[in-house]
Amino acid sequence: MSQEDGDESLKIINKQNYISNEQLKKLFQILGKEHNPRRIIIFENKFNLYLHRLFHFYNYKELLSIGDYYNILNDTIYLMVNKLDDEEKLEIEEIQFNLIRDLAYLVKHRHYFEDYLKDKDFSIKEIIKNLDGFSANDINYGLDIYMDGRYDHIIDKFVVDFMNGNKHLIKEIMNWEEEYELED
Protein backbone atom coordinates (compact mmCIF):
# COMPACT_ATOMS: atom_id res chain seq x y z
CA MET A 1 0.00 0.00 0.00
CA SER A 2 1.14 3.59 0.25
CA GLN A 3 3.77 4.82 2.60
CA GLU A 4 3.36 7.78 4.89
CA ASP A 5 6.38 9.74 5.89
CA GLY A 6 7.18 13.12 7.29
CA ASP A 7 7.72 15.13 10.39
CA GLU A 8 5.18 17.24 12.27
CA SER A 9 5.14 19.91 9.58
CA LEU A 10 4.76 17.79 6.42
CA LYS A 11 3.12 14.39 6.00
CA ILE A 12 3.77 12.57 2.72
CA ILE A 13 1.57 9.77 1.42
CA ASN A 14 3.27 8.31 -1.61
CA LYS A 15 3.94 4.83 -3.03
CA GLN A 16 7.37 6.16 -4.09
CA ASN A 17 7.44 4.53 -7.53
CA TYR A 18 8.03 7.84 -9.33
CA ILE A 19 9.50 10.08 -6.65
CA SER A 20 10.70 9.14 -3.19
CA ASN A 21 9.68 10.87 0.02
CA GLU A 22 13.33 11.76 0.56
CA GLN A 23 13.43 13.47 -2.85
CA LEU A 24 10.24 15.37 -2.00
CA LYS A 25 11.74 16.55 1.29
CA LYS A 26 14.85 17.80 -0.53
CA LEU A 27 12.67 19.65 -3.06
CA PHE A 28 10.79 21.32 -0.21
CA GLN A 29 14.14 22.40 1.26
CA ILE A 30 14.78 24.28 -1.98
CA LEU A 31 11.21 25.64 -2.10
CA GLY A 32 11.48 26.85 1.50
CA LYS A 33 9.65 25.82 4.66
CA GLU A 34 6.97 28.50 4.15
CA HIS A 35 5.71 26.42 1.24
CA ASN A 36 5.19 23.22 3.26
CA PRO A 37 1.55 22.14 3.31
CA ARG A 38 0.31 19.98 6.15
CA ARG A 39 0.15 16.97 3.85
CA ILE A 40 0.97 15.83 0.32
CA ILE A 41 -0.73 12.84 -1.30
CA ILE A 42 0.54 11.45 -4.58
CA PHE A 43 -1.83 9.26 -6.55
CA GLU A 44 -0.07 7.18 -9.17
CA ASN A 45 -3.22 6.13 -10.98
CA LYS A 46 -7.01 6.11 -10.77
CA PHE A 47 -6.97 3.03 -8.56
CA ASN A 48 -4.93 4.90 -5.93
CA LEU A 49 -7.50 7.64 -6.08
CA TYR A 50 -10.25 5.17 -5.25
CA LEU A 51 -8.18 3.62 -2.49
CA HIS A 52 -7.84 6.94 -0.74
CA ARG A 53 -11.53 7.65 -1.30
CA LEU A 54 -10.89 11.15 -2.55
CA PHE A 55 -14.15 10.97 -4.47
CA HIS A 56 -15.87 11.90 -1.18
CA PHE A 57 -14.40 15.38 -1.52
CA TYR A 58 -14.62 15.70 -5.26
CA ASN A 59 -16.60 14.42 -8.18
CA TYR A 60 -14.31 11.68 -9.55
CA LYS A 61 -14.56 12.67 -13.22
CA GLU A 62 -14.08 16.33 -12.33
CA LEU A 63 -10.90 15.53 -10.41
CA LEU A 64 -9.46 13.61 -13.33
CA SER A 65 -10.13 16.50 -15.68
CA ILE A 66 -8.56 19.00 -13.29
CA GLY A 67 -5.59 16.84 -12.35
CA ASP A 68 -3.68 18.23 -9.40
CA TYR A 69 -5.47 19.95 -6.57
CA TYR A 70 -4.91 21.91 -3.37
CA ASN A 71 -7.49 21.51 -0.61
CA ILE A 72 -7.44 24.64 1.51
CA LEU A 73 -9.60 23.10 4.25
CA ASN A 74 -7.13 20.40 5.22
CA ASP A 75 -4.00 22.04 3.77
CA THR A 76 -3.31 19.09 1.48
CA ILE A 77 -1.77 18.98 -1.97
CA TYR A 78 -3.03 16.14 -4.17
CA LEU A 79 -0.84 15.23 -7.13
CA MET A 80 -1.89 12.78 -9.81
CA VAL A 81 0.98 11.12 -11.70
CA ASN A 82 -1.20 9.65 -14.42
CA LYS A 83 -3.77 12.41 -14.75
CA LEU A 84 -5.43 11.16 -17.91
CA ASP A 85 -3.44 7.99 -18.53
CA ASP A 86 -1.33 9.79 -21.13
CA GLU A 87 1.73 9.81 -18.85
CA GLU A 88 2.15 6.10 -19.59
CA LYS A 89 3.81 7.08 -22.86
CA LEU A 90 6.34 9.38 -21.18
CA GLU A 91 9.78 8.46 -19.94
CA ILE A 92 10.25 8.32 -16.16
CA GLU A 93 12.29 11.55 -16.09
CA GLU A 94 9.55 13.38 -18.01
CA ILE A 95 6.95 12.14 -15.53
CA GLN A 96 9.15 13.25 -12.62
CA PHE A 97 9.80 16.63 -14.23
CA ASN A 98 6.05 17.19 -14.70
CA LEU A 99 5.40 16.11 -11.12
CA ILE A 100 7.96 18.60 -9.76
CA ARG A 101 6.59 21.37 -12.00
CA ASP A 102 3.04 20.67 -10.79
CA LEU A 103 4.21 20.57 -7.18
CA ALA A 104 5.93 23.97 -7.53
CA TYR A 105 2.76 25.40 -9.07
CA LEU A 106 0.53 24.11 -6.27
CA VAL A 107 2.76 25.26 -3.41
CA LYS A 108 2.80 28.78 -4.84
CA HIS A 109 -0.95 28.63 -5.53
CA ARG A 110 -1.42 27.61 -1.88
CA HIS A 111 0.72 30.55 -0.80
CA TYR A 112 -1.46 33.03 -2.73
CA PHE A 113 -4.68 31.47 -1.43
CA GLU A 114 -3.41 32.19 2.07
CA ASP A 115 -2.29 35.72 1.15
CA TYR A 116 -5.62 36.43 -0.49
CA LEU A 117 -7.51 35.30 2.61
CA LYS A 118 -5.32 37.41 4.89
CA ASP A 119 -5.73 40.41 2.60
CA LYS A 120 -9.52 40.04 2.72
CA ASP A 121 -9.41 39.34 6.48
CA PHE A 122 -10.97 35.89 6.03
CA SER A 123 -10.19 32.86 8.08
CA ILE A 124 -10.74 29.24 7.14
CA LYS A 125 -13.06 28.87 10.15
CA GLU A 126 -15.22 31.76 8.89
CA ILE A 127 -15.37 30.25 5.43
CA ILE A 128 -16.42 26.87 6.81
CA LYS A 129 -19.06 28.46 9.05
CA ASN A 130 -20.51 30.59 6.25
CA LEU A 131 -20.34 27.90 3.58
CA ASP A 132 -21.70 24.98 5.57
CA GLY A 133 -22.61 22.20 3.17
CA PHE A 134 -20.19 23.29 0.46
CA SER A 135 -17.35 21.01 -0.54
CA ALA A 136 -13.67 21.90 -0.51
CA ASN A 137 -13.91 22.02 -4.30
CA ASP A 138 -16.66 24.66 -4.09
CA ILE A 139 -14.58 26.76 -1.72
CA ASN A 140 -11.37 26.46 -3.78
CA TYR A 141 -13.28 27.21 -6.98
CA GLY A 142 -14.87 30.24 -5.33
CA LEU A 143 -11.51 31.54 -4.18
CA ASP A 144 -10.11 31.08 -7.69
CA ILE A 145 -12.96 33.19 -9.04
CA TYR A 146 -12.49 35.89 -6.39
CA MET A 147 -8.77 35.94 -7.00
CA ASP A 148 -9.70 36.37 -10.67
CA GLY A 149 -6.41 35.10 -12.05
CA ARG A 150 -4.55 38.02 -10.48
CA TYR A 151 -1.75 35.73 -9.31
CA ASP A 152 -1.54 33.40 -12.32
CA HIS A 153 1.33 35.24 -14.03
CA ILE A 154 3.25 35.47 -10.74
CA ILE A 155 2.75 31.75 -10.06
CA ASP A 156 3.77 30.82 -13.61
CA LYS A 157 6.91 32.97 -13.32
CA PHE A 158 7.73 31.39 -9.95
CA VAL A 159 7.46 27.90 -11.44
CA VAL A 160 9.71 28.73 -14.41
CA ASP A 161 12.24 30.49 -12.15
CA PHE A 162 12.19 27.62 -9.64
CA MET A 163 12.59 24.88 -12.26
CA ASN A 164 15.24 26.66 -14.32
CA GLY A 165 17.08 28.31 -11.44
CA ASN A 166 17.40 25.01 -9.60
CA LYS A 167 17.80 22.65 -12.55
CA HIS A 168 21.24 21.50 -11.38
CA LEU A 169 19.99 20.76 -7.84
CA ILE A 170 16.86 19.06 -9.19
CA LYS A 171 19.04 16.90 -11.47
CA GLU A 172 21.11 15.84 -8.45
CA ILE A 173 18.10 15.18 -6.22
CA MET A 174 16.36 13.13 -8.91
CA ASN A 175 19.55 11.34 -10.07
CA TRP A 176 18.95 12.37 -13.67
CA GLU A 177 21.68 12.17 -16.28
CA GLU A 178 20.85 15.58 -17.72
CA GLU A 179 19.31 18.88 -16.67
CA TYR A 180 15.90 19.87 -17.94
CA GLU A 181 14.63 23.39 -18.54
CA LEU A 182 11.06 24.60 -18.44
CA GLU A 183 10.05 26.81 -21.35
CA ASP A 184 8.22 30.05 -20.63
- Indicate whether 66 pLDDT > 70: no
Q: Which residue has the higher pLDDT, 66 or 77?
A: 77
Instruction: Give the pLDDT mean for 92-107.
Output: 92
Q: What percent of the chain has pLDDT over 90?
A: 31
108-157: pLDDT as tens digits: 888 877 776 666 666 655 655 555 555 555 556 556 655 566 778 888 99
Rounded Cα–Cα distance for residues 74 and 71 (Å): 6
pLDDT number for residue 75: 84
Q: In what order do the strands lie in the sheet with 76-80?
A: 3-6, 11-14, 39-43, 76-80, 69-71
